[in-house]
Amino acid sequence: MTRTRLIPLAATTALAAAGGLVTAAPAAAVTCSSPVWKAQFFANTSFSGTPKRTACDAAISENYGSGDPAGVTLPKDNFSVRWSLTRDFGSGGPFRLSAATQDGMRVYIDGVRKINLWKNVSATVRKTLDLTIPAGKHTLRVDYVAWTGNANVSFTYAPRTEAAVDTVKPLAPAPVSAAYNRDTAKTTLRWAPNKEMDLAGYRVYRRLSTTQWAKVSGSSPLTAAVFMDAPPVTGETFLYEVRAVDKAGRESAGSLDMSATTVDRTGPVAPAGLTAVTDSWWTSLRWQPVSDAAQYEVYAASAATGPFTLLSTTTFTSYGPNAPLNTLQYYRVRALDAAGNPGAYATVTGDGVDRTPPSSPTDLGSYVGADFTEVDWTLPDTDSNDRSTFRVYRSPGKSLDPATLTRVTCAEGSDESGTDGLCRDLDMPANTYVTYAVTAVDQAGNESALSAPLVVRTGDRVAPGPVAGLKATARPDGVLLSWNASGEDDVNGYWVYAGVKEADGSVRWTLDSGCAEGDSNPLAILCGDLPDGETYLYAVVAKDRWSNYLHPRDSQVPVVEGTELDVRPTATVTPDWKLGALSWSSISNSAPLVRWTCSSTALCDTVAGYRINRWNQATETYEPQHDGLLPAATRTWTDPTATKGASYFYTLQAVRADGSVAGTYAWNCVMQNRV
């Protein structure tokens, strides 16, 4: 008969290390390491009492025949064996339980019965069960009873690894450590093995903080929980993570990231885009910046094979060495990083031929006279040593038209060389718009692009036409003249004339006589002094920027007659002021103001105070403007209630203590509402 696979206690450690069957000593001392089964043998079928023997068993696969297990004294019938183990199933997943027995068998997971073959049978019975075991630790228990006859028992549990069945990913490996050796420039990663039974191995990934993960552990999963990587020696910090992969091909999430900062032994890449452009007596070398460059070295040689001479070490991405004209020169540039590692060279050949046009002139301006136009400009500082000459172009209209562009012949007094230039154009069409542009031409004949265009309204000696819509409106503060804007584009203002008819019928015109402009309306002006019913003639003419204008005597100029309102008081005041000098504002756009002195001692000593009266046109009386008398020391007064757009009439009275008047003066003020 086949007996149980039990061996003496002395071999336990050796077998455990070899992965085979592990047996144990007497029950009280037996500890079986997971995933080895702990087997307990009972001389009854109820698993009661103290086990006759406890042992460690690597597998449940026994054929006792018609006898009892070896190594323990049991009856040949009516005995029992209980196997149990607790193990970590990692992420869990789908498993298959396979049982075969004669006689009875029950299988439990965490105390819950999963297989029940509990019957005295005369032949081996079998049971297969597919189920999902959750993640983590679980306890398996197999109870076996041999009642009568032959006895055999076998049980296995194994993960199902078909991709269509196993949809559970392994757990992420943990913990992970990363140790970088600067001498070998290698990173050693270590992690705890996963507990999944369907584990195929591990994959190691690496990245920079700004890049995506890339697998560095090869095409096949690693079977050991250790990996050595040789990252690029760039001085950068690399991140690592480990992922477990099962036999169904499913990959776990990444472990916690670990970092390793490498030693920097890698020079930068060669600069891209290196060009050599000759301009006059020097060559401009330019290249694209290199991301990890701390500085650049620039070399030159007269032959392609060298020897090369270091011209400069620079932190800029350009350099301008002196270069002989029309002579081949060979250049190379390389970058050095902060650790001093040199990169590869970029090379370029310069032929010394000046093909570089100067910069376009800037800051075009103009001064326009009636018979000429002067255009001036500036050459940028970058080309100030190029001794350029200039060409001036012109096209009709308000935009630069290449199809009608003509070169201007600059008249005497122009300056077409140097850093600043001026062109006096005498041949431009008058009284229209033209557009100018200027180019610079260097000594090699390279002409710049056209400057930004300058639109100019050319001059003329033709006066603007007469204005239209001239009106004169009498108001309490004067006569308001208004007119329509001129439609001509060279007008820069208007002149206003006031005229008085002479005895012979002619008109004597005076420019801006008694007229005052406002701030908001350039097409209106307020004329006249005190509105006392006088009649005037008015004319308005437009003037252009070249001082061309029509005289009011010109028959084209419209003339309008305006008669002032008469707002004078109907009451007569007899002035009798002998106290001292007076002054006041007769026409103002601010509050009416009067000042006086009191220099006549004989009269001034009798004055107790002053009274200001204002004419009320509605009541046709002079009314006091304050309570009581102003103090005798008062010498000035302002009307705080006066409003713009009216004329006011006042009397100033010096009053004695007995109420008699020592002196009276009448004055007025036109408070204009200028537009």
Q: Thinking of the domain 471-563, which architecture would CATH place it in?
A: Sandwich (2.60)
Distance of CA 653 to the CA centre of its chain: 74
Q: Which residues are registered as beta bridge partners of 319?
A: 285
Examine domains 9-159 and 582-671 and report if their fold is the same: no
Is 8's pLDDT higher than 70?
no
Please tell me the distance from the alpha carbon of residue 238 to that of residue 104, in angstroms, as a whole number: 59
Residue 12 burial (C-beta neighbours within 10 Å; 0-12, 13-18, 19+): buried
- Tokens 């200027």 sit on residue: 438
**By C-alpha distance, which of 85, 87, 75 is closest to 55?**
85
Q: Which superfamily is assigned to 176-261 in CATH?
A: Immunoglobulins (2.60.40.10)
- Assign residue 156 a region (left: φ > 0; alpha: ψ between -120 and 50; beta: otherwise): beta
627 token code pair: 């309570």
User: Which of these CATH numbers, 2.60.40.10, 3.30.70.260, 3.30.930.10, 3.40.640.10, describes 275-350?
Assistant: 2.60.40.10
Q: Average pLDDT for residues 268-292, to the nearest whole number?
A: 91
C-alpha 144: how far from chain center: 76
Name the architecture of domain 582-671: Sandwich (2.60)
Lowest-confidence pick of 30-34, 159-163, 418-422, 617-621: 418-422
Determine contact, residues 372/424, Cβ cutoff 8 Å: yes
Do residues 42 and 48 touch, judged by C-beta distance below 8 A?
yes
Instruction: Write out the H or E segment, with its range, that includes residue 15.
Output: helix 12-18
Residues in a beta bridge with 287? none
Model confidence pLDDT, tens digit, residues 304-330: 999 999 999 999 999 988 878 888 999
- Which pLDDT score is estimated for 28? 52
* Mean pLDDT (the chain, rounded): 91
CA-based torsion, 254, 255, 256, 260: positive or negative: negative
The DSSP line for 577-624 is --SS-EEE-SEESS--EEEE----HHHHTTEEEEEEEEEETTTTEEEE
Give the number of other Cβ atoms within 10 Å of residue 339's Cβ: 14
Average confidence (pLDDT) over 216-240: 96
Query: What's the pLDDT tens digit per position in 47-97?
Result: 999 999 999 999 999 999 999 898 899 999 999 999 999 999 999 999 999
In the chain, where are the structural domains located? 9-159, 176-261, 275-350, 364-385+408-457, 471-563, 582-671
199 in Cβ contact with 244 (< 8 Å): yes
Torsion of CA 31, 33, 34, 39, to 10 degrees: -40
First to last CA, the chain: 131
User: Residue 115 is inside which H or E element, if any?
Assistant: strand 112-117
Distance separating alpha carbons of residues 312 and 314, to the nearest angstrom: 6
Mean pLDDT, residues 242-265: 96
Bridging pattern class, strands 151-159 and 137-146: unpaired
Q: In the predicted model, is pLDDT for residue 362 greater than 90? A: yes
Assigned fold of 9-159: Jelly Rolls (2.60.120)
Residue 668: CB atoms within 10 A of its CB come to 20
**Highest-scoring range by mean pLDDT, 254-268, 278-292, 378-392:** 254-268
Q: Which residues of 86-100 are buried (b: 16+ CB within 10 A; e: fewer)?
A: ebbbbbbbbbebebb
Give yes or no for a contact between 171 and 245, defined as CB atoms under 8 angstroms apart. Answer: no
Adjacent-strand bridge partners of 373: 368, 425
Note whether 152 and 140 are within 8 A (CB).
no
Q: Which helix (H) or strand (E) holds 16?
A: helix 12-18
User: Residue 312: what residue type?
Assistant: S
Q: Quote the CA–CA distance of 534 and 536 in Å, as a whole number.
A: 7
Q: How many CB atoms within 10 Å of residue 72?
A: 20
Give CA 358 to chain center in angstroms. Answer: 34
Q: Of 417-421, 509-513, 663-667, where does the model show the most confidence?
A: 663-667
On whether the pTM is more than 0.85, the answer is no
pLDDT above 60 for 210: yes
pLDDT, tens digit, 9 for 90 and up, residues 537-579: 999 999 999 999 999 999 999 999 999 999 999 999 999 999 9
Which helix (H) or strand (E) segment is 145 a member of? strand 137-146
Supply the pLDDT for residue 150.
95
Q: Which residue has the tokens 């030159």?
A: 300
445: three-class secondary structure by DSSP = coil
